[in-house]
Chains A and B, each alone.
Chain A
Amino acid sequence: MKARMGNSMFLKHEFLKKWIKGLHIYSNFKKDMSILERKKAIKLSADVAIASTRNASTRWSRTVMANISKNETNKNKILVEQVFSDSGVIKKKASSGLMACRNRIKSKKILRRSHITQIRARKMGPHAVKASFIAKKLVKNRTQVLKNLVPGGENMDEISLIKETLDYIISLRVQVDVMRRLASAAEHSTKSL
């Protein structure tokens, strides 16, 4: 954990740098933006920045980058490419498809196994089935929700999902922390102006 603390500071630096860079690029593109556009730009560059701190080593970061490059307009693609200048990303994007396949296969195995369990559980008796079955269902539902929350988590099995969630939570915290500080600093400065 201590290593993590030290690293989080470093993470914050990295994130902030990239984020500011992205913001500069944005402002170069478009001088006048509405509030919503600004907010979108801010959020986008923040997401790109925080995803790039992971250097495409995690699924969620790759997914975030892929989503941004895929869904957005030209300007965002350029933004992504500029901010995230690591070529390793592009290579890893190719492999992520393979990873997805592997994970899907794994998920199917797990699904099959759980079906077998359910069948066996049903044979056991009403009580066992009810309690365990419902609790399992609960967990499964929540796992599904988590998968939807974490970008790129849909095809993952449980263990890697938890790992991704861990990483994602850390990055989100960094993001929130830096943004909050920046916001408060900006507020202070505007108040003092």
Chain B
Amino acid sequence: MAGEDATVQLEKRNEEPLNYRDGNMSSQWKLNGNNLTNTSMVINPTSNSMVESLSCSSDSMADSFAPPIWNQPIIWQSLGYCDMNVKNNASTSNTLGNGTSIFGPVRSNAMLKGSTFLPDFPVMLPPSLPHFPADSGFIERAARFSCFGGGNFVDMMSPSESLNPYTGDSLEAFMGNGSKSLPAMQSQRHEINAIECSKEVSLPVELGTEGSLIKNDKMIENFPSSHDEAKYGIGVSAHESDEAKFSGSGFQEELDDAAGESSAKGLGSKKRKRTGQGTQINVNNGGRQLATESAKDQAEIQQQGDQNQALSKPGGNRDKSGSQGSDLPKEEYIHVRARRGQATNSHSLAERVRREKLSERMKFLQDLVPGCSKVTGKAVMLDEIINYVQSLQQQVEFLSMKLATVNPWLDFNIGGLVAKDLQTGTIQAVLPGLGSSSVPLQGSVNPQFSTVGGRLRESTSQVHCAWEDELHNIIQMGFNSNEPLNSQNLSGSPRLGHMKTEH
């Protein structure tokens, strides 16, 4: 009977791509919702049928129409989503299970719910899973959403300090895309957001971030002026063509492409970029893109990067010197001019500067923390950073334990180690100075030092002599000064001063 329903509805569905049934659906949804955790990471074979149905290829779906556990989880994973909005969707998912029993008028609703669900997938959460109307509109919206995720990632990189969440923006954008019933202005904004995130259009991800800025109530003042909206309009028309393209092709590939490209875009444009211009985007700039923006924009922003402490706007504002700590005892003022189309409120300018500083730092962190290049978004980045720091600390503990067991004397016979490893070259670069410096410490030098050295001398006499020479060579080569030979002198502050500037 389910199969019959499927066939019956398949015909209906050719107009409306999604297989949408009432009673079966809801129960199946709930079932699938429960299964989602298991299947979200795996391509459910039933989801393939869903894909087919989505692409309107009709009737490969037979009785085995199972509620579509959709490929979306995969997409989200490729996007590198993490647990974006677990709690959020947990609450909204309940409505999904119950409310989507009616197909037609609920299309927008389904879009809504689908949108709220989308972030959920990587987290494997929602108790119920709706069937997404697989019409072309949905496909493009989903694609947009995935792009938008990438776009919003950028925004997450440099969000406002109120941490405008990507999910919030994307959700709202998505909802705006899905249901035209939203209030007109809001939907416009949503549309703008959606359009921005479209990968097909050459619109920069920046638009997405700008759009997401809209969402942030703090940033309302920064909402682009009508001038920019006109540019967004250009994007809209450009996007329309993409939609047609979307609907035509296979759904899955599109989404995957979207995911890949959006993540690539997220990669390329980590920092939020102001889109003064319209269709052209500089996706690949780093933190200094402000220069390019100002080239196109009318206003300029002069920043000194990390050294900038305080911000002085036209009105003069609170100084941020304290945030830099001891790096710059004097307070320097950044002169910031409002970008074109942005509010000149001193607060917003200060916040913008702050955001940009933050995003710059996050960029550095991305370079440092392995595996962070794809993921942009404050919460996720912070997560990665936390994991990394924790793992480093644990490594220190573990290694110190290991050293304690390996070497019962606590005097590491560095000379011996160096001699040994000079052959292998492992510690060569690290320990040469120590090899010489440990010699003066005759008092506390490991008694084994001589024995080890002696043994080494027996086995590799030539190496030992060569070692001394090597050491000296290395010292002269690698070291800045000869003073490290004296282990008493450890201040070396003039050299250490160099390190402060490394970041």
Tell me which residues from 341 to 395 in chain B have a Cβ below 8 Å from any Cβ of chain A: 354, 357-358, 361-362, 364-365, 367-369, 378-379, 382-383, 385-386, 388-390, 392-393, 395
Is A108 interfacial (CB-CB < 8 Å)?
no
Q: Which of B390, B407, B480, B490 contacts A17 (CB 8 A)?
A: B490
| Residues from chain A with Cβ under 8 Å of B390 in the complex | 149
Residues of A within 8 A of B87 (CB): 134
**In the bound complex, what is the Cα–Cα distance between A110 and B160 (angstroms)?**
12
Q: Say yes or no: A12 contacts B430, CB within 8 Å.
A: yes
Is A68 close to B, CB under 8 A?
no
Contacts of B327 in A (CB 8 A): 57
Among residues of B, the one whose C-beta sits closest to the C-beta of A176 is: B395
User: In residues 382-416 of chain B, which contact A (Cβ within 8 Å)?
Assistant: 382-383, 385-386, 388-390, 392-393, 395-397, 399-414, 416
Q: B218 near A: Cβ within 8 Å?
A: yes
Pick from A24, A149, A188: contact of B441, CB under 8 Å = A24
A sample of 16 inter-chain contacts (CB < 8 A) reads A7-B499, A13-B478, A14-B496, A16-B431, A18-B490, A25-B444, A57-B326, A103-B322, A110-B161, A146-B389, A175-B396, A176-B395, A180-B399, A183-B403, A183-B406, A185-B420
Task: Answer yes or no: B215 CB below 8 A from chain A CBs.
Answer: yes
Contact with A along B447-480 (1 / 0, CB 8 A): 0000010010000000000000000000000111
Give B499 Cβ to nearest chain A Cβ, in Å: 5
Interface-facing stretch out of B98-106, B164-172, B202-210, B297-305: B164-172
> Is A75 close to B, CB under 8 A?
no
Report yes or no: A172 in contact with B407, Cβ–Cβ below 8 A: no
Partner of A182, one of B91, B393, B417, B493: B417
Asked if B392 contacts A85 (CB within 8 A), the reply is no
- Give CA–CA (A20, B444) in the complex, Å: 11
Q: How far is the CA of A17 from the CA of B368 in the complex (A)?
A: 25
Do A20 and B499 touch across chains, with their CB atoms under 8 A apart? no
| CB < 8 Å neighbour of A130 from B92, B493, B496 | B92
Stretch at the interface among B73-81, B231-239, B249-257, B421-429: B421-429
Give Cα distance in the complex from A84 to B496, angstroms: 13
Q: Say yes or no: A127 contacts B165, CB within 8 Å.
A: no
The residues of A with any CB-CB pair to B shorter than 8 Å are 1, 3-4, 7, 9-14, 16-18, 20-21, 23-28, 33, 35-36, 38-43, 46-47, 52-55, 57-59, 83-86, 88, 92, 95, 99, 102-103, 105-106, 110, 113-114, 117, 120-121, 124, 127-128, 130-136, 138-140, 142-143, 145-146, 149-150, 157-160, 162-163, 165-170, 172-173, 175-176, 178-190, 192-193
Contacts of A38 in B (CB 8 A): 404, 408, 410
Distance, CA A95 to CA B161, complexed state (A): 28
Q: A10 to B499, alpha carbons, bound, how many Å? A: 9
CB neighbours (8 Å) of A150 from chain B are 389
Interface residues, chain B, with chain A CB atoms under 8 Å away = 84-85, 87-88, 91-92, 161-169, 171-172, 175, 215-218, 306, 320, 322-327, 354, 357-358, 361-362, 364-365, 367-369, 378-379, 382-383, 385-386, 388-390, 392-393, 395-397, 399-414, 416-418, 420-421, 424, 426-427, 429-431, 433-434, 437-438, 441, 443-444, 452, 455, 478-480, 484, 487, 490-493, 495-503
Partner of B162, one of A42, A55, A136, A162: A136
CB distance from A29 to the nearest CB of B (A): 10
Q: Are B403 and A190 in contact, with the CB atoms below 8 A?
A: no
Contact indicator B379/A189 (Cβ below 8 Å): no
Q: Is the CB of A179 within 8 A of B400?
A: yes
